[in-house]
Amino acid sequence: MIKQTLATQTMLPADVHPLPRNPAESNEQWLPRAYQDLVLGDGSQWSLVVLAGGKDVASFRLRVAQSHLRGDMLPSYWSDCALLNVNQGDFSTASFFNLPLFQPAHASYAPTRNGLIELPLAQLPSQKDFPNLALLAIPVPQEKILASLADYQKARVSYDAVENILPWLAFVWGAGNAANPLMQNIGFPSAMMLNQLFSANGFDLAPGVNANLSAPETFWSGVKHWQAFYSNTQENGLLPKARFVIDHMYDIDEH
């Protein structure tokens, strides 16, 4: 198990609530509804992070790898994360940014873009592929995060994001004797990117955890359990929120 700092401050109610799917509702349809349910007011003061959990073999390995970040050692609900770019709530032009382990063949040479990919929301995997979904609203203006993202994409000389992809891909594929990267102090690529972007703008997405251990699970824990910390550190008085749907868990029976 990976050692972490526990949130020991007085607990504050977290605006983190389940939002079940409507019948036959796709991920692409669920996200706008979750956005509306968050009631953000001035949307320009917020950024959006998506957590997703798949159930294929690669997702299974990623979810189990993150069990070392959980006190109960159960698999994480999440196998990926991304920055969601939405202009004033208009999802018709929305896109998401992440550092996929499986770099698309049609994209330009990965090192020239530091591994970063932008895809339209329409290419978000289906509910069948990603049955678990969460939308995190983080109280940092999206304009600032996108500006930092543009710098990040050009900053491979100072931070080589591609380097983080390789050990995770080796672990997922079971290549050689590849071990769980988290146990080697190597964070999940997309999560490392997101934590660096938000840290550059004064917000810690994963309090209580070494920044090198950033993962979807640490973001989930931060929003759920560190509201008191954020209430003491957020100068604008806004606290992170989340809506989520969890339609897949691994059947574990210890009896």
What does the pLDDT look like over 106-148, one tens digit per residue? Answer: 778 888 888 889 999 999 999 999 999 999 999 999 999 999 9
CATH T-level topology, domain 29-246: endopeptidase fold (from Nostoc punctiforme) (3.90.1720)
What does the pLDDT look like over 31-78, one tens digit per residue? Answer: 999 999 999 988 889 999 999 999 999 999 999 999 999 989 999 999
pLDDT of residue 9: 53
Give percent of the chain above pLDDT 70: 94
pLDDT of residue 209: 87
Confidence label for 4 from pLDDT (cuts 50, 70 and 90):
low
pLDDT of residue 160: 77
The residue count of the chain comes to: 255
What does the pLDDT look like over 7-36, one tens digit per residue? Answer: 555 556 789 999 999 988 999 999 999 999
Domain ranges of the chain: 29-246
